[in-house]
């Protein structure tokens, strides 16, 4: 099972403001030419499922438009809501550990998952369960916010795979995580 991160950060390494706002990211999208998706469509086509933190899921719901098509989405929460809901039928909740979740999805025949949400990514990184990280750096420094990386006591060692600098100022870099470190 391969687990990948595909995320946008400010130049100073934040994925959202402290209050969860991604207004700076939405503003930056105005720079992107029509039809350019910075590889997101191809990446989505390569994944069998998304695993995302409850906070990211709530943010996605606020967009009003479901961006993940028919791809299964597992939302991690320690308090999965019970009872009937109006969730898209591709969405399920889980409180499994990262390792147990990946094992279960692998048992379903899945080979590649997309892990999203700062806290959630960190939980997978700590257990050395992330294989590849693609960071799209947005040309703005926001000074404070929710960091992509937090101190974990262990360095995350990476091998650079490729970088694309877009004319409109985004810089996208993909790294392989060195899991033997």
Ligand X SMILES: NC(=O)c1ccc[n+]([C@@H]2O[C@H](COP(=O)([O-])OP(=O)(O)OC[C@H]3O[C@@H](n4cnc5c(N)ncnc54)[C@H](OP(=O)(O)O)[C@@H]3O)[C@@H](O)[C@H]2O)c1
Angstrom distance (rounded) from CA 72 to CA 108: 12
Q: Is 172 in the site for ligand X (CB under 6 A)?
A: no
Burial 121-138 (b: 16+ CB within 10 A, else e): bbbbbeebbbbbbbbbbb
Q: Is 90 in the site for ligand X (CB under 6 A)?
A: no
Which one among 3, 5, 16, 73 touches ligand X, defined by CB under 6 A? 16
Q: Is 129 in the site for ligand X (CB under 6 A)?
A: no
Which one among 3, 8, 49, 102 touches ligand X, defined by CB under 6 A? 8
Half-sphere exposure of 30 (CA within 13 A, CB side): 5
User: Whose Cβ is closer to ligand X: residue 79's or residue 162's?
Assistant: 79
Angstrom distance (rounded) from CA 113 to CA 175: 16
Strand ordering across the sheet containing 49-53: 91-94, 73-76, 49-53, 112-116, 2-10, 132-138, 171-177, 158-165
Q: Is 49 in the site for ligand X (CB under 6 A)?
A: no
Q: Is 145 in the site for ligand X (CB under 6 A)?
A: no
Q: Is 91 in the site for ligand X (CB under 6 A)?
A: no
User: Whose Cβ is closer to ligand X: residue 75's or residue 177's?
Assistant: 75
Minimum distance from CB of 7 to ligand X (Å)? Answer: 4
Which one among 117, 170, 174, 175 touches ligand X, defined by CB under 6 A? 117
What DSSP state is assigned to residue 67? T
């Amino acid at each position: 099972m391969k687990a990948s991160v595909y995320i946008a950060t400010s130049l100073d390494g934040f994925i959202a403001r402290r209050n969860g706002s991604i207004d700076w990211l939405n503003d930056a999208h105005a720079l992107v030419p029509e039809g350019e998706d910075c590889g997101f469509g191809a990446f989505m086509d390569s994944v069998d499922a998304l695993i995302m933190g409850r906070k990211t899921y709530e943010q996605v719901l606020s967009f009003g438009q479901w961006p993940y098509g028919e791809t299964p989405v597992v939302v991690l929460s320690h308090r999965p809501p019970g009872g009937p809901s109006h969730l898209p039928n591709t969405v399920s909740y889980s409180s499994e550990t990262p390792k147990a979740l990946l094992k279960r999805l692998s048992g379903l025949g899945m080979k590649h998952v997309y892990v999203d949400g700062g806290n959630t990514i960190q939980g997978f990184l700590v257990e050395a369960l992330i294989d590849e990280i693609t960071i799209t750096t947005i040309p703005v420094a926001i000074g404070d916010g929710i960091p992509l990386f937090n101190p974990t006591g262990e360095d995350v060692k990476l091998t650079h795979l490729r970088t694309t600098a877009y004319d409109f100022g985004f810089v996208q870099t993909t790294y392989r995580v060195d899991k033997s470190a």
